[in-house]
């Protein structure tokens, strides 16, 4: 049976239904983000762990130039090694007839016995290559889908300068290729990079590895020291050109998946509490207004025998119903949103399976946070209820003392009409209420302007990267460093306008206890196509000695100009260099380190060597140029700037960067919720005053001006404050979205702040129209009798 207080509570909920719905949506938004992001973190983490375990992903990878198979025994004897195997890997090019650009690929050897004990491939279709069929191969399923390849198709592949025609007998995925990107590109694109698996003997004959291998895979015993195994493997493999063993965490694929998980985890902890806090603020204001308006009813309830506890529970229930409804809706939306995000991750990361599994803790945290926020607001409300005695509550409240408020007498007062003076007096008499509402609107403005600025920052990052930092049309990579003569050969190709050679050297950069496995980019003295720039977008002159670090790399190492870095080169003679940091560049993609090419070659004792070249080409002859490059045996790959930009744009719109759209929509929702509640609360609080003004002869428009003019002034005051807060927030959001893959440059964007201000004003106008409609329908007699 429903008690009288519960019936009253239901009537109260119906009366404030629009405000309750707005608050429920704000709470639901925060809980939705909590459930979605926590669920994605749990799903990605658990799927990755399961995939790695089922398919025995190696814990340590040790590449080398050419290692005799007899060395495997010495590697297996390293303390802490449970299992070791050697395989052949090599660069390849796939000739796709419909694409003039040679497609880069990785050729990977499979055990000759057919028994895979490490880095086991996951067959999505077909079968493994047969032992006695050297032309059979597996193809990465994502690449096959992008180009429409099926089992039984034949493709032309260039391996080690020799062209072969292979037959696809199966489609596969592998835990070491969750993230695939072409050389020189930092964005996954299944159409631009392929992986081919063939029998060991097939690849050994192609890459001159008969009786040898060039990559060792290690599985460690429980409790073994990864670093100790890495150091021991480097010592064993050094005579055979070992280029430095590394752990699973330095695997490019795992690194990018880990960064994605880390970014989601950070956002799941930082963003939802903000929305819960705003919801708590709105709940407090709404219920405080109800308690103030029902002062006499509370007195009557106490006079009829209801205790403080019973009355307090009544209003607490009202809060909790709104909070629980918001939490429940948020949990449901979070699951739906998480499931909607799964296809994005399966597109950019090659998981064979990925099911959204909500983290049970996120439901509990979301519900608990909602209830706690509502309870926190009820504490302040209950203090007012408990303080009221029946006799005091049933008397009209004592008139407020306005003797010390701002006076509008004199010349200023005479210039203002009566409605304007009423608005200004109301603001002066209730400054804390005005400040509270202004703070809520400013918070919405900050969220809206901060997220809108990030939209512009993403576009600015793209433009800077491909028009200021990298102004080339294409980049050519060689299988191994060649003499500078190779650059002149590229320049002689008809349609090539300019050539700018570079040297890329794999290295581990160390500063103190911090290190980063990457590369050093050697550039010519005065580069024109690909440049290092400072924060003013001016080109940086590369010194004769020293390194210029990108901001991302400087942050990773904690380096600053003047620091001495240890550069452990992992190719050629493998020198260990001590090089000073001369400057920090504003590179926006990747984490490069720049050095003058001649200085780098001198340090390597390999003068006049280049790893590739940046090209500017005649667009009309581009297809013929790329076809010519495809036929050159020394070319390991070609990266076309237009394709790289399109892939990055796709990532920004559909991949990790798509979260900015969700956050932007959420920011606008919360902004409208704050503005609408402010307007509705003002209407409810001043309904009797507005009716009195109408009876005294004020027109409808003048009465609405008294109500909405106050909200308009509060909104106008909130705009610059919110804009300033949004400017600071945009830097925090930019840091949250930035990773080693790309860095988002935050700055003041007038358009973003103007657009956000226009939205706030629009939200205020719509709220005003909704309130005005109710005011115009107001029954003056009923309102004036409401306190009799």
Same domain, 700 and 602: no
Q: Quick one: DSSP state of residue 772?
A: H
Domain membership flag for residue 75: no
Domain membership flag for residue 27: no
Alpha helices in 607-656 (DSSP H): 622-630, 641-654
Domain membership flag for residue 383: no
- pLDDT tens-digit readout, 264-289: 787 777 666 766 676 666 666 666 66
Residue 764's H or E segment, with its range, is helix 750-776
Residue finishing a domain among 148, 167, 201: 201
Which pLDDT does position 153 carry in this prediction?
Answer: 92
Same domain, 575 and 616: yes
Residue finishing a domain among 598, 617, 648: 648
Quick one: average pLDDT of 54-74? 92
Domain membership flag for residue 245: no
- pLDDT tens-digit readout, 182-218: 766 666 777 888 899 999 988 998 898 999 999 999 9
User: Which residue, chain included where needed, has tokens 């008690």?
Assistant: 3
**Conformation bin of residue 246: beta by default, left when phi > 0, alpha when psi is -120 to 50:** beta
Same domain, 640 and 680: no
Residue 316 and residue 375 in contact, taking contact as beta carbons nearer than 8 Å: yes
Give backbone dihedrals phi and psi of 180, rounded to 5 degrees, phi first.
-125, 130
Same domain, 556 and 618: yes
Of all residues in the chain, the percent with pLDDT exceeding 90 is 19
Same domain, 567 and 614: yes
Length of the chain: 788
**Conformation bin of residue 126: beta by default, left when phi > 0, alpha when psi is -120 to 50:** left
DSSP assignment of 660-726, as one string? Answer: HHHHHHHHHHHHHHHHHHHHHHHHHHTHHHHHHHHHTT--HHHHHHHHHHHHHHHHHHHHHHHHHHH
Domain membership flag for residue 84: no
Residue finishing a domain among 184, 201, 218: 201
User: Which residue, chain included where needed, has tokens 């090599």?
Assistant: 90
Tokens of 41: 């973190």
- pLDDT tens-digit readout, 425-483: 777 767 777 777 777 778 778 877 877 787 777 777 777 778 888 889 989 988 888 99
DSSP assignment of 477-545, as one string? Answer: EEEEEEETHHHHHHHTSTTEEEEEEEEEEEEEEEETTEEEEEEEEEE-SS-SSB--B-TTSPBPPPPSS
Q: Which of 137-151, 447-461, 768-782 has the lowest mean pLDDT?
A: 768-782
Same domain, 448 and 481: no
Query: Within a 13 Å sphere around the CA of 540, how many CA atoms are in the beta-carbon half?
Result: 27
Domain membership flag for residue 389: no
- pLDDT tens-digit readout, 486-508: 999 999 999 999 999 999 988 88
Higher pLDDT, 222 or 680: 222
Q: Is the pLDDT of residue 745 over 80?
A: no
Q: Quick one: DSSP state of residue 590?
A: S
Same domain, 474 and 427: no
Same domain, 633 and 753: no
Give backbone dihedrals phi and psi of 629, rounded to 5 degrees, phi first.
-65, -35
Longest dimension (CA), the chain: 104
Confidence of residue 397 (pLDDT cuts 50, 70, 90): low
Residue 648 and residue 589 in contact, taking contact as beta carbons nearer than 8 Å: yes
Quick one: average pLDDT of 551-575? 87
Higher pLDDT, 779 or 21: 21
Alpha helices in 158-239 (DSSP H): 200-206, 226-237
Domain membership flag for residue 388: no
**Conformation bin of residue 715: beta by default, left when phi > 0, alpha when psi is -120 to 50:** alpha
Quick one: average pLDDT of 737-741? 66
Q: Quick one: DSSP state of residue 470?
A: B
Same domain, 606 and 746: no
Q: How far apart are the first and last CA of the chain?
A: 32
What is the total count of domains within the chain? 3
Residue 264, classified by CB atoms within 10 Å of its CB into exposed (0-12), middle (13-18) or buried (19+), is buried
Same domain, 708 and 744: yes
Q: Is the pLDDT of residue 785 over 70?
A: no
Which pLDDT does position 495 carry in this prediction?
Answer: 92
Q: Is the pLDDT of residue 638 over 70?
A: yes
- Highest-scoring range by mean pLDDT, 114-128, 307-321, 711-725: 114-128
Confidence of residue 108 (pLDDT cuts 50, 70, 90): very high
Higher pLDDT, 551 or 403: 551
Domain membership flag for residue 716: yes
- pLDDT tens-digit readout, 658-714: 555 665 666 666 667 777 777 777 676 666 777 777 777 777 777 777 777 777 888
Same domain, 541 and 675: no
Q: Quick one: DSSP state of residue 323?
A: H
Q: Which of 174-188, 319-333, 357-371 has the lowest mean pLDDT?
A: 174-188
Structural domain that includes position 642? 469-648
Residue 65 and residue 213 in contact, taking contact as beta carbons nearer than 8 Å: no
Tokens of 641: 């700037």
Same domain, 668 and 591: no
- pLDDT tens-digit readout, 342-359: 887 777 778 888 888 888
Which of 101, 212, 144, 221 has the alpha carbon at shortest distance from 625? 101
Q: Which of 11-15, 233-237, 519-523 has the lowest mean pLDDT?
A: 11-15
Confidence of residue 788 (pLDDT cuts 50, 70, 90): very low
Higher pLDDT, 400 or 52: 52
Which pLDDT does position 60 carry in this prediction?
Answer: 94
Of all residues in the chain, the percent with pLDDT exceeding 70 is 83
Residue 584's H or E segment, with its range, is strand 576-585
DSSP assignment of 17-44, as one string? Answer: HHHHHHHHHHHHHHHHHHHHHHHHHHHH
Which of 616, 606, 144, 569 has the alpha carbon at shortest distance from 350? 144
């Amino acid at each position: 049976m429903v008690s009288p207080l519960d019936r009253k509570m239901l009537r109260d909920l119906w009366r404030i239904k629009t405000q309750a719905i707005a608050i429920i949506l704000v709470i639901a938004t925060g809980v939705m983000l909590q459930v979605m992001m926590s669920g994605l973190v749990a799903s990605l983490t658990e799927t990755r762990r399961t995939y790695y375990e089922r398919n025995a992903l190696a814990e340590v990878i040790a590449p080398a130039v050419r290692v005799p198979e007899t060395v495997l025994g010495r590697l297996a004897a390293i303390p802490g090694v449970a299992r070791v195997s050697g395989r052949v890997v090599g660069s390849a090019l796939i000739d796709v007839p419909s694409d003039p650009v040679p497609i880069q690929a990785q050729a990977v050897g499979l055990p000759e016995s057919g028994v895979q004990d490490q880095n086991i491939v996951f067959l999505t279709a077909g079968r493994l290559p047969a032992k006695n069929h050297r032309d059979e191969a597996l193809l990465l399923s994502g690449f096959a889908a992008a180009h429409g390849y099926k089992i039984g198709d034949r493709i032309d592949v260039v391996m080690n300068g020799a062209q072969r025609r292979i037959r696809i007998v199966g489609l596969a995925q592998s835990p070491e290729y969750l993230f695939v990107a072409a050389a020189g590109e930092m964005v996954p694109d299944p159409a631009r990079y392929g992986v081919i698996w063939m029998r060991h003997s097939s690849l050994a004959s192609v890459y001159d590895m008969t009786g040898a291998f060039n990559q060792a895979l290690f599985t460690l015993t429980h409790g073994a020291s990864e670093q100790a195994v890495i150091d021991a493997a480097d010592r064993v493999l050094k005579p055979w050109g070992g280029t430095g063993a590394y752990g699973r965490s330095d695997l490019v694929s795992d690194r990018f998946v880990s960064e994605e998980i880390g970014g989601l985890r950070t956002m799941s902890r930082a963003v939802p509490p903000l929305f819960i806090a705003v919801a708590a603020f709105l709940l407090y204001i709404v219920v405080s207004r109800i308690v103030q308006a029902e002062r006499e009813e509370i007195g009557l309830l106490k006079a009829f025998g209801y205790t403080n506890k019973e009355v307090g529970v009544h209003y607490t229930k009202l809060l909790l119903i709104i909070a629980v409804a918001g939490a429940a809706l948020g949990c449901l939306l979070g699951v739906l949103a998480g499931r909607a995000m799964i296809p994005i991750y399966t597109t950019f990361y090659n998981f064979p399976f990925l099911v959204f599994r909500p983290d049970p803790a996120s439901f509990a945290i979301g519900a608990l946070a909602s209830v706690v926020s509502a309870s926190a607001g009820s504490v302040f409300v209950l203090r007012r209820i408990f303080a009221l005695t029946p006799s005091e509550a049933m008397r009209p409240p004592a008139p407020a003392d306005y003797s010390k408020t701002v006076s509008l007498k004199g010349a200023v007062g005479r210039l203002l009409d009566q409605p304007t003076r009423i608005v200004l007096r109301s603001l002066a008499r209730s400054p804390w209420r005005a400040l509270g509402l202004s703070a809520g609107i400013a918070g919405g403005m900050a969220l809206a302007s901060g997220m809108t600025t990030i939209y512009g920052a993403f576009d600015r990052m793209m433009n800077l990267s491909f028009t200021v930092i990298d102004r080339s049309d294409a980049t050519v990579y060689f299988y191994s460093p060649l003499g500078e003569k190779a650059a002149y050969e590229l320049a002689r190709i008809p349609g090539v306008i300019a050539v700018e050679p570079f040297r890329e050297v794999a290295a581990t950069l160390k500063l103190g206890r911090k290190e980063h496995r990457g590369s050093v980019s050697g550039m010519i003295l005065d580069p024109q196509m690909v440049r290092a720039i400072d924060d003013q977008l001016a080109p940086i002159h590369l010194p004769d000695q020293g390194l210029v670090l990108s901001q991302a790399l400087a942050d990773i190492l904690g380096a600053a100009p003047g620091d001495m870095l240890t550069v452990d080169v992992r190719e050629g003679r493998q020198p260990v260099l001590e090089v000073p940091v001369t400057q920090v560049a504003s590179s926006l993609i990747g984490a490069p380190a720049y050095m003058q090419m001649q200085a780098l070659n001198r340090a390597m004792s390999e003068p006049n060597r280049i790893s590739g070249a940046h090209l500017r080409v005649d667009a009309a002859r581009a297809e013929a140029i790329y076809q010519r490059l495809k036929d050159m045996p020394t070319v390991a790959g070609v990266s076309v700037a237009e394709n790289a930009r399109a892939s990055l744009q796709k990532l920004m719109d559909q991949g990790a960067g798509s979260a900015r759209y969700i956050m932007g929509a959420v920011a606008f929702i919360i902004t409208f919720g704050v503005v609408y509640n402010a307007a509705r609360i003002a209407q409810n609080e001043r309904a009797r005053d507005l009716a009195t003004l109408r009876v005294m002869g004020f027109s409808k428009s003048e009465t609405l001006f008294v109500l909405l003019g106050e909200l308009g002034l509060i909104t106008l005051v909130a705009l610059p404050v919110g804009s300033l807060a949004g400017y600071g927030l945009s830097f925090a959001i930019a840091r949250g979205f930035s990773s080693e893959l790309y860095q988002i440059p935050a700055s003041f964007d007038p358009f973003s702040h103007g657009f956000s201000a226009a939205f706030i004003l629009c939200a205020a106008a719509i709220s005003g129209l909704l309130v005005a409609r109710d005011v115009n329908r107001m029954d003056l007699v009923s309102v004036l009798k409401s306190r009799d």
